[in-house]
Amino acid sequence: MFDWSDFVQVLASTNIEFEHLKVVELAQAILESGWGTSKLFKLHGNPFGMKYRPEMSQIASPIEYDASDGKGIYCKFATLSDAVKGYWIFIDRPIYSGWRDNSATPEDFIRFIAFAGYIGGPFDGTEADRERKEKYINKVLNLIPEAEELLENANSSPIEKPIWKNKGVMLEVGHGPNPNGWEPGAVGVGGVREYDLNWVAAEAAKSVLDEVGVPCIITDFGGINGNGLYNIGRTAANYDVFCSIHHNSATVNAQGAEVLVHRTKADAEDLELSSLMSAEIANELGIRDRIANGRDPGLNLGVLSGAEDTNVRVSVLAELYFIHVPVPDTTDWSTRGGEAIARAILKWLAKTSSSNWN
Ligand SMILES: [Zn+2]
């Protein structure tokens, strides 16, 4: 069963082309679903009373449904995110072509699509049809203040039940500044520097976490003289997850992802995040998951030694892929690898969060 407040939450946190039109999308959903009480919404995730059209096959499946105005074939959405995006695919069909030129205000937009055919087909020139369309437009416009309020409240709490327990996620950019001077890490094909790619991956991971409201900071702390890596790890104190981000290099022709833990200080939770993350990166990039294939994830890494000596819940070091062998596009790979890191962290946080609210 789909839940109305989940729908509002998903709509609020989804990026759409014209942010200022979200209120219309929500106002129409309120009107068509009766604040989420329609069966079409509850059972099929469709709050818009949206009929099925061939163009919708990319995001919805057809379902026969008996609506108040008769039986028809409607859109069934697998997720609420599909419903939010499906609305705009519906609007992008030829019947509404030109809507972007009529989207300066919510009113311009709803007027344009109502007359283009959203309500009772394209305007037929009669007074009766004009009245019908104006009536609908007014109903939608009257709901806009309430839609605005719902979206505002939703935006203030992106995740209702926090899946993190402490300060959230710390991503550490490997190499760069360190106590003994600046160093680039590994240097790959074409002179690409590991340090630069570590930043690309860290920023991509952070943006995924930001989007769902999980607190995340990136650190590029260089440590303190004499005990650099260990002290970098110590900054993980009070975080849920510490992840040091690296790219690999070797003298043999290897390709694959691996996520390491401290050899003696890691526990079962560190190992679980290691295998989740290694699988997620390997799957995203279509490369070998070295951890799943027998590589021992435990190594005596100074940065993880420092992290494990704090109260951080888990700490890992991700080696996204090998940069000494050619890949199609390092920036693209590191971006996608970074996003995979974030997804694995979210999976781990969600899995271990239940004690938060029982
Ligand atoms: Zn490295």
Q: pLDDT digit string (tens) for 232-251?
A: 999 999 999 999 999 999 98
Query: Which CATH number is correct for 169-356, 3.40.50.360, 3.40.630.40, 3.40.50.12780, 3.40.50.300?
Result: 3.40.630.40
CA distances from 61 to 41, 73, 77, 82, 141 (A): 14, 10, 7, 11, 30
Instruction: Extract the tokens encoding 184.
Output: 């680039």
Kindly give the distance from the C-alpha atom of residue 151 to the centroid of ligand 1, in angstroms, as a whole number: 43
CATH 3.40.630.40 domain residues, the chain: 169-356
Distance of CA 337 to the CA centre of its chain: 14
3-state secondary structure of 246: strand
pLDDT at 354: 62
Query: How many degrees, rounded to 5, is the angle at CA 155 between CA 151 and CA 157?
Result: 130
Kindly give the distance from the C-alpha atom of residue 247 to the centroid of ligand 1, in angstroms, as a whole number: 6
Residue 269 burial (CB count, 10 A):
15
CATH 1.10.530 domain residues, the chain: 4-155
Kindly give the distance from the C-alpha atom of residue 246 to the centroid of ligand 1, in angstroms, as a whole number: 4
pLDDT at 355: 46
Kindly give the distance from the C-alpha atom of residue 271 to the centroid of ligand 1, in angstroms, as a whole number: 20
Query: How many degrees, rounded to 5, is the angle at CA 318 between CA 315 and CA 320?
Result: 165
Q: pLDDT digit string (tens) for 322-340?
A: 999 999 999 999 999 999 9
pLDDT at 31: 94
Instruction: Extract the tokens encoding 96.
Output: 């509404």
Kindly give the distance from the C-alpha atom of residue 244 to the centroid of ligand 1, in angstroms, as a whole number: 9
Kindly give the distance from the C-alpha atom of residue 349 to the centroid of ligand 1, in angstroms, as a whole number: 25
pLDDT at 198: 98
Whole-angstrom distance, CA of residue 113 vs CA of residue 108: 9
Q: Which of 11, 7, 1, 25 is nearest to 87 (CA)?
A: 25
Matching residue, tokens 């729908």: 7
3-state secondary structure of 227: coil
Kindly give the distance from the C-alpha atom of residue 174 to the centroid of ligand 1, in angstroms, as a whole number: 6
What architecture is domain 4-155?
Orthogonal Bundle (1.10)
Kindly give the distance from the C-alpha atom of residue 104 to the centroid of ligand 1, in angstroms, as a whole number: 49
pLDDT at 253: 84
Kindly give the distance from the C-alpha atom of residue 185 to the centroid of ligand 1, in angstroms, as a whole number: 5
Kindly give the distance from the C-alpha atom of residue 267 to the centroid of ligand 1, in angstroms, as a whole number: 23
Residues of the chain with pLDDT under 70: 69, 155-161, 225-226, 354-358
Query: How many degrees, rounded to 5, is the angle at CA 290 between CA 261 and CA 184?
Result: 65
For the CA atoms of the chain, what is the radius of gyration?
A: 25
